[in-house]
Structure 1
Amino acid sequence: MSRDGRPGRGGKVSLTEQAYALIRKEIIACTLEPGLEFTELDMAERFSISKTPVREALMKLQFEGLVRAYPRRGYVIEPVKVSDINEIFDMRLIVEAGAVQFAVERATNEDIARLKEIALSQDDESYHEQPDRSNSINNLFHENIALASRNARLHRSVMQMLGELERFFYIEARSTMAYPERHASHRDIVAAMEARNVGTARAAMVDHIEGTRNVLLASIIDGRRKSSGWVL
């Protein structure tokens, strides 16, 4: 099953999987806001699912670090942590700079054409209005670079980090902050790959990741000012 609750190749989705997908989606989109306290009954009533699958879903979400349990009290949506953002972006600098280096050396012309198509499909104006679409395209771009590296472990690492950043990107999209160079920097990365220039591609990826980090942190600080329970 995918994280949005759609069945995979196996077909049927269990109630636990449905509960997990529904709750996770609202946590990621901050519909269930960071710092919110709730009980299993609250979620069962919200999604019209019995308490047992809700309890099992919440165990999975605890493992992902999205929910914390308090015995005899209930649960709380984990606040956003600035330290988490910095740790993930430090890892991205190492992993994705390496991924783009290998991609320059190993990507086919078809791989690069696909990356150019994705980069050109991005629209700065719609970023705040259509965060689902924008984040999906952004993740697709970075995933395709990882795939072009022809290294399965690099690909898994990149996808894990992008998954951990989902909620942060939704908070950014809800803020007034803007990063007009985001999509242009994707195109710079593709241009360096087309030229088969490893040094330029690595530098463009590092600049892109640091630019994203800076805007994201500014958005989180903006969110902290507006919603005191959101951020640690």
Structure 2
Amino acid sequence: MSQRPDKNSSLRTRAYEAIKDKIIYLNLKPGDKIFESEIAQELGVSRTPVREALLLLENELLVECDPRLGFQVKRLTPTEIEEYFAIRIVFEEFVAPFIIERITREEIEALKRNVEEADESVKGGDLTQIIRRETDFHTILYQAAKSEMFFHIISRIVDKFQWLRAIGLSAPGGAEISLGDHRAILEVVEARDTEALKRLMTEHIRHGKERFEQMKALFF
């Protein structure tokens, strides 16, 4: 007999995804208070699944609970920010050889389509779509490595990468620079050049950090 879906779990997941999207796409900024009643009304649910979702996001270090103010979007410390960028460099240098060795022609074509779609998003100035395309590009690369262990580990922290990336992409010219980096990465992936991929992925992260530094005063 198949089990009936847990309605409470479904509502919690819906609230979780909605709040996380608001954070990652910068509709809620670091330090912003999160009003449970407003989220509940917006989603047409009770406050219970919203609170459960916030507890999950607190565990993932995207929100924090102040005893006086309640839930708010987490403010990262300078040390945490530095560590996130450093960790990403380590991860991507590690995975680069697997990408070059295991990526398929279909995945390379998916990267090409992504770059074309990102170009349209950049021209249209749609920040949400720019962030989505940027994230999708990296997801395709990570999946191309065919490493279950790597993907399991990176999945636990990728939301934070996406969040910091979004802030950097909001900088003047940030999206154009990032798109140029992606074009260069695609070229060396297609050429199956491991060392060039390591170098370009590291440069891409450093470019992102530079753009983030331009904007962080507005967010932290």
Is it true that 1:116 corresponds to 2:109 in the alignment?
A: no
Partner Cα distance (2:120, 2:216) in 1:
20
Q: 1:117 to 1:74 in 2, by over 3 A?
A: closer
Is it true that 1:18 corresponds to 2:14 in the alignment?
A: yes
Tell me the TM-score normalised to structure 2 length. 0.81
The alpha-carbon deviation at position 174 of structure 1 amounts to 4.1
- The one-letter amino acid paired with 2:149 is R
Q: 1:120 to 1:29 in 2, by over 3 A?
A: closer
List, as ranges, runs of 4+ consecutive aligned residues in structure 1 with deviation greater than 6 Å: 10-13
1:55 matched to which residue of 2? 51
Partner Cα distance (2:17, 2:72) in 1:
17
The number of residues matched between the two structures is 215
Q: 1:128 to 1:214 in 2, by over 3 A?
A: farther
Partner Cα distance (1:64, 1:27) in 2:
12
SS in 1 for 2:65: strand
- The one-letter amino acid paired with 1:219 is M
The alpha-carbon deviation at position 63 of structure 1 amounts to 0.7
Is it true that 1:143 corresponds to 2:176 in the alignment?
A: no
The alpha-carbon deviation at position 107 of structure 1 amounts to 1.9
SS in 1 for 2:26: coil
Partner Cα distance (1:112, 1:73) in 2:
47
Is it true that 1:166 corresponds to 2:166 in the alignment?
A: no
Q: Deviations over 1:183-216 (max 9, x none)?
A: 1221212221222221112111111111112111
Please tell me whether the aligned partners of residues 96 and 158 of structure 1 are also in contact (alpha carbons under 8 angstroms): no
1:7 matched to which residue of 2? none
Q: 1:101 to 1:43 in 2, by over 3 A?
A: same
Tell me which of 201, 205, 211 is aligned to 2:201: 205
SS in 1 for 2:64: strand
Partner Cα distance (1:135, 1:115) in 2:
15
**Where do 5+ consecutive residues of structure 2 fail to align?**
none
Is it true that 1:86 corresponds to 2:79 in the alignment?
A: no
The alpha-carbon deviation at position 46 of structure 1 amounts to 5.5
The alpha-carbon deviation at position 93 of structure 1 amounts to 1.0
The alpha-carbon deviation at position 40 of structure 1 amounts to 4.1
Partner Cα distance (2:203, 2:34) in 1:
40
Q: 1:39 to 1:205 in 2, by over 3 A?
A: closer
**Where do 5+ consecutive residues of structure 1 fail to align?**
1-9, 224-229
Q: Percent of aligned positions with the same letter in both sequences?
A: 26
Tell me which of 203, 210, 214 is aligned to 2:210: 214
Please tell me whether the aligned partners of residues 92 and 161 of structure 1 are also in contact (alpha carbons under 8 angstroms): no
Partner Cα distance (2:31, 2:40) in 1:
19
Superposed CA RMSD in Å reads: 2.8
Q: 1:11 to 1:145 in 2, by over 3 A?
A: farther
Please tell me whether the aligned partners of residues 122 and 175 of structure 2 are also in contact (alpha carbons under 8 angstroms): no
Is it true that 1:180 corresponds to 2:199 in the alignment?
A: no
Q: 1:153 to 1:177 in 2, by over 3 A?
A: same
Partner Cα distance (1:107, 1:38) in 2:
41
Please tell me whether the aligned partners of residues 127 and 173 of structure 1 are also in contact (alpha carbons under 8 angstroms): no
Partner Cα distance (1:92, 1:115) in 2:
20
The alpha-carbon deviation at position 90 of structure 1 amounts to 0.9
